[in-house]
Each structure stands twice: as C-alpha cells, then as structure tokens.
C-alpha cells in the first residue's frame, strides 16, 4: 500500500511510519525541516518537504496515495478539508489522529467517575469544541473510509526519529530542572494510557482491516497522575513527588497544557479497537517510567 503520512518526524507520526515500513508498506512522509530528510530515508520513509499550510501539496499527495494518515495535528481544519476533498468519492481510507482531551474536564488534580466509550456522546469543554467538530466532519465525509483514532496519554520511546510525546516528557523535564517531581493539586486525576508501540500497531491494523471505520478510543490502561509522577521521581531518584498549585502549574506549562493535558481527567474505554483484533501488549505507564524511562533520550 502506498501511504501518505503527515507528521513523519514527530513522535506519533514517526512511530507509525516506521511501523508501516516494517510491515512492507511504502510511506511518503510530510516534514517541515529538510534537515530531517536523511533520517527518514534511513528508516525507509520517503520525505516530502512541506507543511500543513501547503494545501495544494496535501491534495496532490492524497490523490496519488492509496491511503492517508494525518498524524501532524488534531486541530488543523484547512489541512483536513484539503485531504478530505482530495479523497472524496475515491473510497480510500483517511486515518485521522485525535486526542482524548476532548473528554477532559477542568478538575486540576481532583478525581472523576466519568468514563467514556467509543459511542458515548461527548459534550466538550469550550476549548475542545473545534476538535470535536473536526472529528465529526471527517466521520461524515462522503466517499471515503474515515477512521478517527482518539489517542489517550501515550508513553514510551519513539520508534521513528528522536521525538517525545506530550504529557510525561513535560513532567520529566520539570522534575529534572527543579529537582522535584510535581503533580497538580492532589494528583488524583486519571487518564487512560497507551504505549506508542501499541498505538502504531493499531494504525497499521486500521489501514489493513477494511472493516475499520468510525471513531475509536485508543487505550490499554489507566493511571492517576500522582502515581505516574511518583514513578518518574523513582526513576530519577528524586524522592517523594510533591503537589503543585494550579497557578504554578499554569505558569510553567500554560493553561492548555496544565488544565487539559496534566490536570484533567480523561477516562475512556475502547472496545471498538479490540473488536478489530487489536491486542495491546503494554498496560502500565508507571512500570514503563520506572523501568524504561532512562533507557531512552530524556527531554531537554
């Protein structure tokens, strides 16, 4: 299969691209930085220099490909409209990357008993309305096989070019900089989690399994932030993790990151992915942090 993939040098996109190549597919990967082209070629990925703002390029690449994977942005509507427009009526598959902060709250370290499944109606916080509307736009597109994979908190080391995920690396960076690992508030907020290798396996499965279509949460475990931060502290030999007030967290990470990525609850279950035959092999973000964190590059 000839696949066009955006975000080929990123953590998610690069890992997916490497997995697709290992499975025997041909991948053309969009990158902004030409300095990363040689690294992609070494992985068997053909680099395409450009950005999500190059709408003509996106249309042309989508038209020539057998399948398209968007792993560059969950929120860029013009880019998605260009890809959907090029694929409309072809029956080809578009796999779009979303994120489970769409069900996030503003708990700032407090727990929640809300758990969402693939078909649970979502009424997002105002900050996430546009992302939910974009997911729905893709799923409603005519003449394509649309798959939205809504990833949860992803952990693990990149399978492609060196890159980091969004959430745990920021906690690691802050802990290394300050000498104290910190969680927000009481740290009782919980997120569903998934290992990057399992994520890449699901993207491959979604592309190859013609029954895959629709919206899928991507999860294989669940952890409280207090426990994940303590695991980071243990790996870095920093002693007891400590609470951080919301104001200090937002000053360090900004509102979006502190509130929706590190302070919220995002508890989901993804039966649809397992019904496709997906069998994730990793189940504990805390175990990974204690046992594997120091085996790969740490965020600077």
pLDDT, residue 283, reads 85
pLDDT, residue 82, reads 98
pLDDT, residue 300, reads 87
pLDDT in tens, the chain (300 residues): 999 999 999 999 999 999 999 999 999 999 999 999 999 999 999 999 999 999 999 999 999 999 999 999 999 999 999 999 999 999 999 999 999 999 999 999 999 999 999 999 999 999 999 999 999 999 999 999 999 999 999 999 999 999 999 999 999 999 999 999 999 999 999 999 999 999 999 999 999 999 999 999 999 999 999 999 999 999 999 999 999 999 999 999 999 999 999 999 999 999 999 999 999 999 899 999 999 999 999 998
The pTM (predicted TM-score) of the whole model is: 0.97
The two three-digit tokens of residue 4, written as one number: 């066009």
**Alpha helix stretches (DSSP H) within the chain:** 11-22, 37-42, 55-64, 77-87, 129-139, 168-178, 196-208, 225-235, 246-253, 255, 271-275, 285-292
- For 120, other C-beta atoms within 10 Å of its C-beta total 12
Q: Which of 220, 208, 205, 186 is nearest to 108 (CA)?
A: 186
**Are β-strands 153-155 and 67-70 bridged in parallel, bridged antiparallel, or unpaired?**
unpaired
- Options 3.40.50.720, 3.40.50.460, 2.60.40.180, 2.102.10.10; CATH for 2-293 is 3.40.50.720
Q: Which of 46, 6, 8 is nearest to 161 (CA)?
A: 8
pLDDT, residue 255, reads 96
Domain extents for the chain?
A: 2-293
Tell me the C-alpha distance between 170 and 181, whole Å. Answer: 11
φ/ψ of residue 3, rounded to 5: -120, 130
The two three-digit tokens of residue 75, written as one number: 């929120």
Tell how far CA 136 is from the center of its chain: 18
- For 137, other C-beta atoms within 10 Å of its C-beta total 15
């Amino acid at each position: 299969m000839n696949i066009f993939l955006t975000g080929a040098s990123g953590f998610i996109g690069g890992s997916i691209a490497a997995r697709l190549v290992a499975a025997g597919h041909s991948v053309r990967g969009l990158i902004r930085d030409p300095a990363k082209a040689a690294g992609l070629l070494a992985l068997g990925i053909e680099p395409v220099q450009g950005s999500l703002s190059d709408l003509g390029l996106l249309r042309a690449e989508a038209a020539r490909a057998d399948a398209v994977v968007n792993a560059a942005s969950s929120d860029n509507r013009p880019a998605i409209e260009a890809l959907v427009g090029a694929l409309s009526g072809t029956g080809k598959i578009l796999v779009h990357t979303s994120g489970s902060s769409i069900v996030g709250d503003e708990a700032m370290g407090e727990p929640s008993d809300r758990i969402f499944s693939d078909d649970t109606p979502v009424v997002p916080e105002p900050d996430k309305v546009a992302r939910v509307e974009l997911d729905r736009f893709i799923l409603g597109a005519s003449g394509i096989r649309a798959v939205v994979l809504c990833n949860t908190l992803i952990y693990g080391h990149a399978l492609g070019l060196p890159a980091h995920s969004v959430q745990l690396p920021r906690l690691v960076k802050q802990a290394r900089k300050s000498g104290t690992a910190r969680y927000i508030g009481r740290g009782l907020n919980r997120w569903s989690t998934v290992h990057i290798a399992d994520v890449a396996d699901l993207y491959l499965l979604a592309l190859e399994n013609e029954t895959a279509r629709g919206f899928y949460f991507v999860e294989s475990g669940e952890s409280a932030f207090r426990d994940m931060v303590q695991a980071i502290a243990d790996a870095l030999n920093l002693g007891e993790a400590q609470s951080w007030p919301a104001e200090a967290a937002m000053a360090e990470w900004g509102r979006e990151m502190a509130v929706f990525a590190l302070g919220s609850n995002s508890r989901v279950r993804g039966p649809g992915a397992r019904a496709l035959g997906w069998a994730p092999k990793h189940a504990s973000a805390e175990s990974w942090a204690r046992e594997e964190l120091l085996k790969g590059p740490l965020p600077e």
